[in-house]
């Protein structure tokens, strides 16, 4: 049995902690609002699970790097965002500051509310260290939470990061009442956008057809439990971004990922039209229906998944 520390007291952190506890592992929860210090929290732990919002990853990672953690302590990252300073995913921060530790990435169609209700799903844990991935797999697997392993940790991580932007687009489409055809088209072309960006960052294209890519994309683009979908739907319903955020429970990482991704793509010459139009709606420079029209009137071309 392992002793596991969960960083972040939100819905996802508490959900994963419950899964581990049911499997007999000792669980500790830490958040920045608690009195328990990080120094006390890390004592005797075998695994540290980051369920932090992207905005908190760098500061917490720096604090952990100053502590004398055993090198065999596994780091499990579940954060789905991009760093505003570097435009890099959270794994880059963990590897830069704590690269001596085995790093594992977890992502998949994992809406926390459904898992809390005991509804079944699957996820994937990926790492360059196969033993670390298998250790995480056994910690969380159950008859209602099936865990697969993979080695393309970059692709698994980026699948979870990039789908958030497409989920906002899907929410906008549904909020405008454009129908299943439009949503399906957005998701398919959104997947192509994800693959292009992912391969640019060294991911394998086939990873995006798995649980962390297509699986997570389907879940978040079809469910009003998705915070990113909720934001898109609210914007299409006439709310401002500030109004949409005020009624949201938790963080919609896609709101922050989209502009970072757009600027990075422009700098390196990546074509991300859906991301660009999502940004236009988020910034208030384009009404939702106009943003969708801009996508429909792009230059005609052949279909490609990259």
Average predicted confidence (pLDDT) for the chain: 96
Q: For residue 212, what are its two tokens?
A: 């962390």
Q: For residue 112, what are its two tokens?
A: 């926390």
* Helix pair angle (153-175, 288-296), 10° resolution: 120
Per-residue confidence band for 62, with pLDDT thresholds at 50, 70 and 90? very high
Cβ-based burial of 202 (10 A; exposed 0-12, middle 13-18, buried ≥19): exposed
List, in order of start, the domains of the chain with CATH numbers: 3-151 (3.40.50.720), 154-296 (1.10.1040.10)
Cα 208 → chain centroid: 13
pLDDT in the model for residue 52 = 95
Q: What are the beta bridge partners of residue 227?
A: none
Q: pLDDT tens, 185-242?
A: 999 999 999 999 999 999 999 999 999 999 999 999 999 999 999 999 999 999 999 9
pLDDT in the model for residue 32 = 81
Which residues participate in catalysis according to the annotation? Answer: 163
pLDDT, mean of residues 15-31: 95
pLDDT, mean of residues 34-54: 92
pLDDT of residue 35 exceeding 80, the answer is no
Residue 190 three-state SS: helix
Contacts of 180 (CB under 8 A, 6+ apart): none
pLDDT of residue 34 exceeding 90, the answer is no
pLDDT in the model for residue 305 = 80
Q: pLDDT tens, 73-122?
A: 999 999 999 999 999 999 999 999 999 999 999 999 999 999 999 999 99
pLDDT of residue 262 exceeding 80, the answer is yes
Instruction: Please give the Cα distance from 216 to 161 (Å, whole number).
Output: 10
Answer for the pair 146, 233: CB distance below 8 angstroms, yes or no.
no
* Helix pair angle (253-268, 273-283), 10° resolution: 130
- Ramachandran region, residue 119 (left: φ > 0; alpha: ψ -120 to 50; beta: rest): beta
Contacts of 224 (CB under 8 A, 6+ apart): 230, 233
């Amino acid at each position: 049995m392992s002793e596991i520390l969960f960083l972040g007291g939100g819905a996802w952190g508490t959900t994963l902690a419950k899964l581990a506890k049911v499997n007999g592992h000792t669980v500790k929860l830490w958040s920045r609002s608690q009195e328990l210090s990080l120094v006390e929290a890390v004592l005797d732990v075998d695994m540290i699970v980051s369920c932090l919002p992207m905005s908190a990853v760098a500061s917490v990672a720096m604090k952990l790097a100053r502590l004398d953690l055993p090198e065999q302590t596994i780091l499990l990252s579940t954060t789905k965002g991009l760093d505003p300073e570097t435009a890099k995913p959270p794994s880059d921060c963990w590897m830069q500051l704590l690269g001596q530790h085995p790093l594992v990435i977890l992502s998949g169609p994992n809406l926390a509310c459904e898992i809390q209700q005991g509804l079944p799903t699957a996820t994937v844990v990926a790492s360059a260290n196969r033993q670390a991935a298998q250790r995480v797999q056994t910690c969380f697997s159950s008859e209602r939470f099936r865990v697969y392993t993979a080695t393309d940790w970059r692709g698994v991580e980026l699948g979870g990061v990039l789908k958030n932007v497409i989920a906002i687009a899907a929410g906008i489409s549904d909020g405008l009442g454009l129908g299943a055809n439009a949503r399906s088209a957005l998701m398919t072309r959104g997947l192509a956008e994800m693959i292009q960006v992912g391969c640019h960052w060294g991911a394998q294209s086939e990873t995006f057809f798995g649980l962390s890519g297509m699986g997570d994309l389907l879940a978040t683009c079809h469910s009003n439990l998705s915070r990113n979908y909720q934001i898109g739907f609210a914007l299409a319903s006439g709310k401002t971004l500030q109004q949409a955020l005020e009624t949201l429970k938790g963080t919609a990482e896609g709101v922050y990922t989209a502009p970072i991704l757009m600027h990075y793509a422009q700098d390196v010459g990546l074509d991300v039209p859906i991301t660009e139009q999502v940004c236009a709606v988020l910034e208030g420079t384009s009404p939702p229906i106009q943003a969708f029209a801009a996508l429909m009137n792009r230059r005609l071309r052949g279909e490609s998944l990259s």
